[in-house]
């Protein structure tokens, strides 16, 4: 069935997609308690899959697929659910990047839903007026905890555009499961409690935020039920009135009011400066439909996000440099050395050239060319790590030979937040969605819109704090700050092979690159590639790495001159690999960020009539939640 045909059967279709053993457990749980908190790092099966960091969100996506929705419908419903269960990482107060493979056209398209700066933003917006030397506010907690850090949100516009372009659900229908989830609540886990504790000072800088997230002045206890009735009502209003309610109507006025005059607590020591967002800024916002980046690696086609994200170019360039510098059969330490050095070179070029293409001429074709990669690869010494930071390469002066031309700009300091969330979805027709969405820092700006149940982002801190006319990521009104989000779809002979993405600030780029490197070069399974210990070289003096990576590879790589800084964990990825005869391997983190939930529609292969062995149980229970999935 084509994507177009799914549109013609909107609410009438209910897929007889048999329940897996896991899905059967979901039904049993729902009969006793509708909440679901089982973490499932890997599921294999057929008929569609959803993987995210959260069990409730993944289950909602699976239910959409079972009821006839396509991958886009399920992705939006899952994202809306993550706005409930992952409110410190995502939600309608933020933005993101949506990558879609259309099985009908066999094309990859993307949506840039990145936040924009208010038109009236000052180039010195992050400079502390009380600093005698004109220094910026400290990044954390001062700079992020403010009205001035808040960009015009793009998430709702992204959902609307994705559904209009490729979905079979209305936005109203896609929001219903998350609305119910917000009303009935979810089970608090240790990660949610810890994130709340870590943000307590910032949340208490406002009078609004503690009411929801710090009831009685304390973070919610693991095992307790967290309800967000305000968000449920907000979703209901958006479902009834459409996105105009958010970008033009009453909610727009409420957002502008708190950005321009943050409800600052009288007891906080944080400055909480006001922002410049206006109703015109919200009304003018557009999610942008655009072509992906495309690069080739070891015979695979790698599709990612074009600028304003730096993800597609930097993932593609770093892998291109690896491919030009060593063969696929290189020894593991040799391969890792080249991977880390290639990443540093790509990050140098990222700093020099990447910004919003509406304001900056970004040389995407040069950065992804094999000739450019060959010249960059010449700079890798097989026996010794280069002193970092390394210089960028002049995109107007290269010929692919081992005589590098003039260097470009120096590296900059990266302050991109480490939060964000990611989801991966595919349906029975072969459509694929990879979607990374965020409110930036864990907890965003810390500012809860009063009585609305969602936090506003702090995405504008992704701009360079100090204005420099030559900096492609300088602050400008209406501009989208540079991002590292890297939702990626990989094709093999034109067919989906792998879809993956992750949160993690600028480590997003290295995590996606390393998972691909692990899977393709080191021959790991996708489960192994995602779970393997990680290292991130972003053109810094030391490599940021997880303890297990340092324990396993630190000595050998140290002998080549690599130095390490330890990080407890890097990223929280999701992925789906597409195997033979329709077999799907859906993967989430087994440990990082508390683990994730990867679910499939069915573990049974369809017979020649399209039925599965467990169809009967699925049909028996399908009627229970019809009201939560049908249009009004």
Q: Are 394 and 408 in contact (CB under 8 A)?
A: yes
CB within 8 A of 437, min separation 6: which ones? Answer: 79, 82, 90, 94, 95, 96, 97, 113, 155, 158, 420, 421, 422
On the 0-12 / 13-18 / 19+ scale of CB atoms within 10 A, 301 is middle
By C-alpha distance, which of 567, 574, 530 is closest to 436?
574
On the 0-12 / 13-18 / 19+ scale of CB atoms within 10 A, 507 is buried
Residue 426 is among the residues annotated as catalytic for this protein: no
Tokens at residue 480, please?
Answer: 């989208």
Element (H, E) at 173: helix 171-184
The strand pairing partners of 407, in sequence order, are 393
By C-alpha distance, which of 72, 43, 47, 6 is closest to 618?
47
Query: d(Cα 19, Cα 98) in Å, to the nearest integer?
Result: 28
Identify the sign of the CA torsion 498, 501, 507, 511: negative
Element (H, E) at 187: strand 186-187
Q: Are 53 and 421 in contact (CB under 8 A)?
A: yes
End-to-end CA distance of the chain: give it in Å, rounded. 26
Q: Among the options 420, 426, 461, 488, which is catalytic?
A: 420
Tokens at residue 77, please?
Answer: 């419903």
Task: Indicate which residues carry an active-site annotation.
Answer: 420
């Amino acid at each position: 069935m084509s994507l177009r045909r799914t549109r013609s059967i909107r609410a009438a279709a209910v897929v007889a997609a048999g329940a897996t053993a896991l899905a059967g457990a979901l039904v049993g749980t729902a009969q006793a308690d509708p909440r679901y908190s089982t973490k499932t790092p890997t599921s294999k099966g057929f008929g569609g899959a959803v993987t995210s960091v959260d069990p409730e969100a993944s289950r909602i996506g699976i239910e959409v697929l079972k009821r006839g929705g396509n991958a886009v419908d399920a992705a939006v419903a899952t994202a809306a659910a993550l706005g409930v269960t992952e409110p410190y990482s995502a939600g309608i107060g933020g933005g993101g990047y949506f990558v879609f493979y259309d099985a009908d056209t066999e094309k990859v398209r993307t949506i840039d839903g990145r936040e924009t700066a208010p038109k009236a933003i000052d180039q010195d917006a992050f400079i502390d007026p009380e600093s005698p030397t004109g220094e910026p506010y400290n990044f954390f907690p001062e700079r992020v905890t403010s009205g001035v850090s808040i960009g015009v949100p793009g998430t709702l516009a992204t959902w609307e555009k994705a559904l209009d372009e490729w979905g079979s659900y209305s936005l109203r229908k896609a929001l219903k499961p998350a609305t119910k989830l917000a009303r009935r609540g979810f089970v608090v886990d240790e990660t949610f409690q810890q994130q709340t504790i870590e943000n307590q000072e910032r949340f208490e800088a406002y009078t609004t935020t503690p009411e929801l997230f710090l009831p009685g002045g304390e973070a919610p206890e693991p095992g307790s039920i967290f309800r967000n009735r305000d968000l449920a009502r907000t979703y209901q209003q958006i479902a009834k009135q459409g996105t105009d309610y958010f970008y033009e109507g009453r909610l727009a006025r409420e957002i502008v009011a708190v950005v321009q005059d943050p409800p600052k607590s009288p007891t906080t020591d944080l400055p909480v400066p006001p922002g410049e967002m206006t109703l015109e800024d919200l009304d003018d916002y557009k999610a942008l439909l655009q072509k992906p980046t495309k690069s080739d690696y070891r015979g695979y086609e790698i599709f990612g996000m074009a600028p304003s994200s730096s993800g597609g170019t930097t993932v593609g360039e770093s892998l291109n440099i690896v491919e030009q510098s060593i063969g696929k059969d290189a020894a593991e330490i040799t391969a890792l050395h080249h991977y880390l050095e290639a990443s540093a070179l790509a990050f140098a070029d990222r700093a020099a050239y990447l910004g919003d293409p509406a304001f900056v001429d970004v040389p995407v074709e040069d950065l992804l060319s094999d000739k450019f990669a060959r010249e960059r690869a010449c700079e890798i010494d097989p026996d010794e790590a280069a002193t970092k930071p390394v210089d960028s390469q002049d995109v107007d002066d290269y010929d692919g030979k081992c005589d590098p031309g003039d260097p470009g700009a120096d590296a900059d300091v990266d302050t991109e937040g480490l939060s964000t969330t990611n989801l991966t979805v595919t349906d029975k027709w072969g459509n694929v969605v990879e979607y990374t969405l965020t409110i930036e820092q864990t907890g965003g700006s810390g500012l809860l819109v009063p009585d609305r149940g969602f936090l506003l982002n702090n995405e504008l801190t992704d701009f360079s704090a100090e204005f420099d006319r030559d900096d492609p990521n300088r602050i400008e009104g209406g501009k989208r700050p540079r991002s590292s989000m890297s939702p990626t779809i990989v094709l093999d002979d034109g067919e989906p092979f792998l879809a993956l993405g992750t949160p993690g600030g600028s480590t997003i780029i290295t995590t996606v690159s390393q998972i691909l490197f692990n899977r393709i070069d080191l021959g790991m399974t996708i489960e192994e590639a995602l779970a393997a210990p990680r290292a991130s070289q972003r053109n810094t003096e030391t490599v940021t790495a997880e303890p297990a990576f340092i324990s396993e590879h630190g000595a050998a790589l140290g002998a080549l001159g690599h130095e390490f800084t330890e990080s407890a964990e890097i990223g929280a990825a999701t992925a789906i690999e597409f195997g033979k005869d329709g077999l799907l391997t859906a993967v989430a983190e087994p440990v990082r960020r508390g683990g994730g939930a990867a679910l499939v529609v069915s573990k049974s292969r369809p017979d020649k009539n399209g039925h599965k062995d467990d169809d009967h149980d699925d049909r028996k229970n399908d009627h229970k939640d019809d009201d939560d999935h049908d249009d009004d």
